[in-house]
Structure 1
Amino acid sequence: MTLDQVKDGLKNYDGPEMNIMEVCGSHTGAIAKNGIPGMLSKKIHLLSGPGCPVCVTPSSYVDKLLELAKDPKNCIVTFGDLIRVPGSTPKNLSSVRGEGARVEMVYSPMDTFDLAAKDPDTNFIFAAVGFETTTPVYALLVDEIVRNNIKNIQLLTAIKTMPEVIDYLMESGAPIDGFIAPGHVSVVTGVHVYEPIAEKFSIPFGVAGFKGPELLAAIYGIVMSYGKGVVKNFYPSVVKPDGNPEARALIDKYFEKYDASWRGMGAVKGSGKILKPKYSYLDAGSRGLDKDHKANPACCCDKVLMGKMRPYECPLYSRVCTPMNPQGACMVSTEGSCFSYLANHRTDG
């Protein structure tokens, strides 16, 4: 089937109304940048899900980072998009850095080794937030620490896994008829992990890449499979059926399943990874961070993440809450639904 035929099929679709959720923040951005909402029939609605790592991190995790940052013997090491995420108060890593706390932004967790080697008297705590995509890198970080007996690096983890939260969304009554499965996550997990959920709820999954034609092909495949519990791989050049067993083996060496807390959703059974007890000396206090208090009670980030509200339906959106003054995590990261909708002037749905 040609791209023009796919476009024509999606534009003129006149079957049952469908809500299709992308659970990857990068997909949310790519969908907007490629103008895909405007290419679809009015009966096809796209929803953004819990696919932005910092967006789903509970406020108690940020509070813990802020607490650790107050100790002059510690330095927090993090990716840039976590620096402005508020905890249970408007304070964030950026504001406490302005008060004298040590916070280092890096592009790779491996940069922590250089920092630690140059300053052996400081304890460097890496903020390990993410999904299956980044977990292998965290496992490599731990592997290096263990093999080289490095004494001044720890991790504070908020690592999530996708299949369990997708199942949770469906069990919670989220209005979803199909999923655009995350491409980068699927490189590690493979496509088979979605099959039990597809069969359980009779909904289709389409593993997608990030180019416009790849996303359109996945959406078309999902639409044509309405009501069927199938998983289709539209990213075969990168995603293999069984994913990356070597990466998963390294993860399993150091991490175990954990009932992770998701922002606005609470604890989701088995939906996270945490350091095994054997390596607890490398953990800066990740267990039990399950409380989630909004810095601004009117923020609707939780409803947006669950597909129960579109970003522009939040009363704070673009008024009180903007990328320069974010009231919730969904407006901080470029992968966040609210940020992406505002930056691309989206009003579809």
Structure 2
Amino acid sequence: MKYIEEFQDPELAQRLLDDIHATVTRPWALMEVCGGQTHSIIRHGIDQLLPDQVELIHGPGCPVCVTPLEVIDKALEIASRPGVIFCSFGDMLRVPGSNRDLFQVRSEGGDVRVVYSPLDALRIAQENPDREVVFFGIGFETTAPPNAMTVYQARKLGIRNFSLLVSHVRVPPAIEAIMQSPDCRVQGFLAAGHVCSVMGIDEYPDLTERFQVPVVVTGFEPLDILEGIRRAVRQLERGEHTVDNAYARVVRPEGNPAAKTMLADVFEVTDRSWRGIGTIPASGWRLSERYREFDAEHRFSVTGIATEEPDECRSGEVLQGLLKPNECAAFGTTCTPRTPLGATMVSSEGACAAYYLYRRLGGTTAPLEASPVG
């Protein structure tokens, strides 16, 4: 298959669904790790077309959503300072901090700019040598290599007025934390294909053996996701627990060696706090000692900021797969994309945003037609 449309073919989708219905004999709970997969599932009604025995649990796979509140507050503090140009991808601007967001900082006179690449921020730093330029570097393993390359280039070119506010997280430790939770119901995982395209699949066999769960690497189109579910259900029905690459057109077992080499040079593994979840050991990256001068937290002395999550936001339970978005009392009422309580309602990959965007407002079990937010 060459074209995206082929991965949305309804006849092929029905064949995969028929196979899943014919295979399943008992209840199984699968977690899709990536927020992009969550949006595809809700948009196309995949969860509602599956047998009742197959439940999809939405995992903490949205990078914006898991960026901790204290890091958001650090971003707000830095962006508010005179002489700073703060650069970010657009979906971070409405993520609420303790009492405001980056849009509000911009309305108050802060120089907050939306960019489409970290290299755009580096160019801005070159063009404004008398200003401090900060790029908000968040995300999973997919966005870490270009952010690492930007810091590498800044050092190579001698651009000293550029720094990176880092909040990068890693998927395998998050899976481990989920499986170690006493409330965990997950029996298998759909792993994010774009993450594995960078890092490969070497870290997953240990997880499948330790926790006796299958991990199926898959993509984001409807047929990708249905094939991933089909393979996971077949493993579970057979009592198997292996790593299965269902996204071989993109993912090689070894990943991307050049990207991994860049990550190993610029970053080092560290404990990282996840919004609504807490600290997960060895689940993130920070700049290595060689590149520490480009660390915005140290440059602007904001390492001591600490915060507490608002009680009314239950996004932590959503991110852990303990609560569906429409089971939250605030969903669609006091919490909407225009008045969000948490990042899961703001982010383009957030589960709450997916449920709101595609009108999954109630407990209906019939597939819904996708409709835009008015």
Q: Give the conservation status (yes or no) of the 8 Å contact 1:264–1:302.
A: yes
- Residue 240 of structure 2 corresponds to 228
SS at match of 2:133: strand
What is the TM-score normalised by the length of structure 2?
Answer: 0.89
- How many residues of Structure 1 are paired with residues of Structure 2 in the alignment? 346
Tell me by how many angstroms 1:5 deviates: 3.7
- 111, 122, 125: which one pairs with 1:116? 125
- Residue 252 of structure 2 corresponds to 240
| Residue identity matched to 2:151 | V
1:257 aligns with 2:272: no
Q: How does 1:34-183 map to 2 (within 5 A)?
A: 34-89=44-99, 91-173=100-182, 174-183=184-193
Return 5+ residue gaps in structure 2 as ranges.
1-11, 366-374
- Residue 315 of structure 1 corresponds to 329
Tell me by how many angstroms 1:315 deviates: 1.3
| Residue identity matched to 1:148 | L
Tell me by how many angstroms 1:12 deviates: 4.7
* Counterpart-to-counterpart distance in 2, 1:206 and 1:284: 37
Q: Give the conservation status (yes or no) of the 8 Å contact 1:261–1:289.
A: no
Tell me by how many angstroms 1:334 deviates: 1.4
Q: How far does the alpha carbon of each residue in 1:174-193 deviate from its partner, in whole angstroms, 9 at most, with x for none?
A: 21011110011010111222
Tell me by how many angstroms 1:264 deviates: 1.6
Return 5+ residue gaps in structure 1 as ranges.
none
Pick which of 280-289 and 238-247 moved more: 280-289
- Residue 308 of structure 2 corresponds to 293
- 191, 203, 215: which one pairs with 2:201? 191
Tell me by how many angstroms 1:3 deviates: 5.1
| Residue identity matched to 2:315 | C
- Residue 327 of structure 1 corresponds to 341
Tell me by how many angstroms 1:10 deviates: 2.2
| Residue identity matched to 2:125 | A
Pick which of 226-235 and 301-310 moved more: 226-235
SS at match of 2:249: coil
RMSD (Å) for aligned C-alpha atoms: 1.7
Q: How far does the alpha carbon of each residue in 1:149-198 deviate from its partner, in whole angstroms, 9 at most, with x for none?
A: 10110001000000001101101132101111001101011122211111
Cα 1:54/1:74, change in 2 over 3 Å: same
* Counterpart-to-counterpart distance in 2, 1:315 and 1:246: 46
* Counterpart-to-counterpart distance in 2, 1:128 and 1:306: 23
- Residue 304 of structure 1 corresponds to 318
Calculate percent identity across the aligned residue pairs.
38
SS at match of 1:144: helix
* Counterpart-to-counterpart distance in 2, 1:288 and 1:123: 18
* Counterpart-to-counterpart distance in 1, 2:39 and 2:26: 26
Pick which of 302-311 and 67-76 moved more: 67-76
Which structure dedicates a bigger proportion of its chain to helix? 2
| Residue identity matched to 2:243 | V
Cα 1:315/1:4, change in 2 over 3 Å: closer
